[in-house]
Amino acid sequence: QVQLVESGGGLVQAGGSLRLACVDSGRTFSNYAMGWFRQAPGKEREFAAGYSRSGGRTYYADSVKGRFTISRDNDKKTVYLQMNSLKPEDTAVYYCALRYGSISPRNEEYDYWGQGTQVTVSS
């Protein structure tokens, strides 16, 4: 059974950085593509970044490209999201998700989700 636990959220000033981590307690982490999504109050959940199951391919939403970096460590069963140059509009609950297959920006195509971690960026 896959269980995802996010950590690393918090309150940061605009321009600051945070690194989120998502640990998978399941056994087949390397078989899944990984995604980070976020949901701001009153808005729909949106794709932020993704990492392929193999080949080291990464994908980013235009809104975070150049500022966020997704990485994964299969030995530690962990995916990271390094967030730099944070802006108030990055404030949201951030979720990690696994998908058995290729990366997708569609949240309905992901199989497992974490509980989320709050990121708040003050101006």
Is the dihedral angle over the CA atoms 105, 101, 20, 59 positive or is it negative?
negative
61 — pLDDT class (breaks 50, 70, 90): very high
| Residue 108, phi then psi, degrees to nearest 5 | -70, -10
Neighbours of 41 (CB within 10 A): 7
Neighbours of 73 (CB within 10 A): 12
Tally of residues, the chain: 123
In the chain, the percentage of residues whose pLDDT exceeds 90 is: 84
Mean pLDDT of the chain: 94
What's the pLDDT at 28? 74
What's the average model confidence in pLDDT over 20-40?
90
**Chain centroid, CA 8 distance in Å:** 11
Inform me whether the pLDDT recorded for 35 exceeds 90: yes
| Residue 31, phi then psi, degrees to nearest 5 | -85, -5
Whole-angstrom distance, CA of residue 35 vs CA of residue 104:
8
Residues 73-82 have pLDDT tens digits of 989 999 999 9
Strands 4-7, 18-24: pairing is antiparallel
Whole-angstrom distance, CA of residue 87 vs CA of residue 107:
23
> Looking only at Cα atoms, what is the longest distance across the chain?
41
What's the pLDDT at 41? 92
